[in-house]
Structure 1
């Protein structure tokens, strides 16, 4: 049975009824939620200015779009003076010029560069069970960054400042895969976008919009600068699971001597061998278990929570029985084949340490004396445990 996400980050976006969202909207249809909440703690105009002018961001953390396409990176980047001569850093004067002339600024991967969004995105991804990223779109008044298109991932749109008119149309290609971009169906998208909209609305601050992958959308800022966040959900699909299943089956067939055998001399096609190969492949698929492969891929697609090297050093240096620690967030830690697998590597433990390690996985605060000082030191050094807040 599918797991319904717990309330938390998701409830901020769609309201308290996550059961209804999971049943009626998720991966099915667009959903507008007026006045879902106040998102000023996540992002703001001041955040835009700080990121562009003070953080030394480089491409591709910013894209600039105008008249439906992106402009060359070289038009808004330059070296940043003594000690910062790397040529692809954002040039705030050039960025201002582009924005002044009607370009939309797209701040990408904000979950890596803006701490409040990093924490929120991590929580949302954990609830949904799908990786999430965060972008911001900053559009001058009465301008539009992109023509009608679809994304190959689901999105939540959060209006932060200003207002933007959104036109939403049903898919021309439902549930597109990652390698099926809208540009492959440009004509069909353009034709569909000329029809009656499924949703025609102006998003105001605090409104949210959910769009499954494949749903067509375009947006135009109204009478003031518009800032909205797009939370992109990189969906795990049954097709992806089938790929893992096939890879596991093919790996098993490497141990079959006949499958490793050479085709007969002078073979003109696969017909004579295909029935045999199909029979062996079907048998391998029937017994293959892609769970480990799928979990490894899940771990590789996300990041563990931030770790401060100096705080970690101070905790190791001052370690004692009363030191308070907790499991580092976002590790996807679990026991597999008697080994602790995490996003930062794997660890083996003697039988005597299995029980305290299992307790540590609950995510609660523990003391080094409770878990074992030697064990805690090892886990701190591995980046699995981090100091708990006082």
Structure 2
């Protein structure tokens, strides 16, 4: 079960994409199972507050439909005692389990992800009714919270089209639900909503999916056009024989030709994939050349996770060029079988590599190859905890 299937379970992914994604909110019951206890808890919230430094607005407080001033963070405990909602942004950058979960969802959906944590207290409303400009999943961790979701008043709002500049809907909510631990609520971007904690303190994660739109694609295309001399050329003056209309017509023809390029979609998808950062970059002391083979030939390795990998065969079967996680390495004198297996998500051992490289010597050939990939942060030594 991948991360998206796990998130939506028992609701089928195909049904969700067909009936809900970007169009209709849905609450999914966990039937009493605390499905997200491995991701977050009150103890982990306290660890973040006690041992990490958060600056405003990554740490905010909200009470009675208003976000409190930055200076009020100094009185965090007192405000929470009065029922304020506490918001910690970007916990996916601080909690490994959340980082891995968010990264896997990013790879599946193809769009950026962000996870924030919210703690709130009984019968107090933190935020006023509003909408978000990204897709939202609410993962209830502890306690219970009642949600009301209303129809959109502006279809598919862009990031700059905030709800503060729009009029709230006057119709009643089309979805009212109370989330219990393990439950999920999906809210499409642009759909107004608010929430109130019930009888006990509530802790939930908000998973934001920052989708791309046609506007984003056009902005990427404009950046691409900036590299072409034809598009940087000055438009004709009023004094020249060539009119501005004629010049623009030639540009339209050039643009039409570019839009017909068969690999345009692939190039944009590759660009989006390149925006994702690996969740794991450092692995010391192994990247410094120590303890890289703790079990010798039986040591387990895993390729960097949740990153697109591009393998390019070099001319005349000289080897392969590997592009992954913003890095490039060249592997010479290796087999296609090795490359096909080495960069899969499943872990493997040194013995497996010898099987993929028949006739190669473990100490002379294979160990230096693996050590190089470890030093580059492309391979990681498995230590019992799933690496990213």
Which range, TM-score by smaller chain?
A: 0.7 to 0.9
Partner of 1:180: 161
User: 2:106 corresponds to which residue?
Assistant: 125
Offset, 1:161: 2.1
SS in 1 for 2:301: strand
Partner of 1:65: 62
2:248 counterpart residue number: 274
CA offsets per residue over residues 298-323 of structure 1, 9 Å max, x none? Answer: 22233333643235443348695444
TM-score when scaled to structure 1?
0.82
The 1-side partners of 2:331 and 2:120 are apart by 53
Alignment-derived partner of residue 85 in structure 1:
none
- TM-score w.r.t. the length of structure 2 is 0.82
Query: 1:11, 1:18 within 8 Å by CA — same for their partners in 2?
Result: no
Q: Distance in 1 between matches of 2:308 and 2:228?
A: 30
Aligned position for 1:41: 38
1:132-211 to structure 2, matched below 5 A, reads 132-185=113-166, 188-189=167-168, 192=169, 194-211=170-187
Q: How does 1:1-390 map to 2 (within 5 A)?
A: 7-35=2-30, 37-38=33-34, 39-77=36-74, 94-185=75-166, 188-189=167-168, 192=169, 194-248=170-224, 250-251=225-226, 253-254=228-229, 256=230, 261-266=233-238, 270-287=244-261, 289-305=264-280, 307-313=282-288, 314-316=290-292, 321-335=297-311, 339-350=321-332, 352=334, 355-368=337-350, 370=353, 372-389=366-383
Does the C-alpha gap of structure 1 residues 270 and 179 become closer, same or farther in structure 2, counting only changes over 3 Å? Answer: farther
**Counterparts of 2:287 and 2:295, CA distance in 1:** 10
CA contact (8 A) 1:159 1:227 kept: yes
Following superposition, which runs of at least 4 residues in structure 1 exceed 6 angstroms of deviation?
A: none
Alpha-carbon contact 2:312-2:322 (below 8 Å) kept:
yes
User: Secondary structure of 1:124's match?
Assistant: helix
Structure 1: runs of 5 or more not aligned: 1-5, 78-93
Q: Structure 2: how far apart are the matches of 1:324 and 1:165? A: 46
In the alignment, the residues of structure 1 paired with residue 17 and residue 189 of structure 2 have an alpha-carbon distance, to the nearest angstrom, of: 15
CA offsets 1:112-145 (integer angstroms, 9 cap, x no match): 1122322322333333333222111111221111
Q: What secondary structure sits across from 1:76 in the alignment?
A: helix
Task: Give how far 1:96 is off.
Answer: 0.6
Does structure 2 retain, via aligned residues, the 8 Å contact 1:66–1:102?
yes
Structure-1 separation of matches of 2:296 and 2:181? 49
Q: Distance in 2 between matches of 1:265 and 1:106?
A: 55
Give 3-state SS (helix, strand or coil) of 1:105's partner: strand
- Give the whole-Å Cα distance in 1 for the aligned partners of 2:46 and 2:328: 40
SS of match in other structure, 2:106: helix
Partner-residue secondary structure (3-state), 1:106: strand
CA distance 1:22–1:73, shift in 2 (3 Å): same
Alignment deviations for residues 151-192 of structure 1 (CA, whole Å, 9 cap, x no partner): 11111112222222211001111222223222232xx22xx0
Change (3 A) 1:76 1:373: same
* Count of residues paired in the alignment: 360
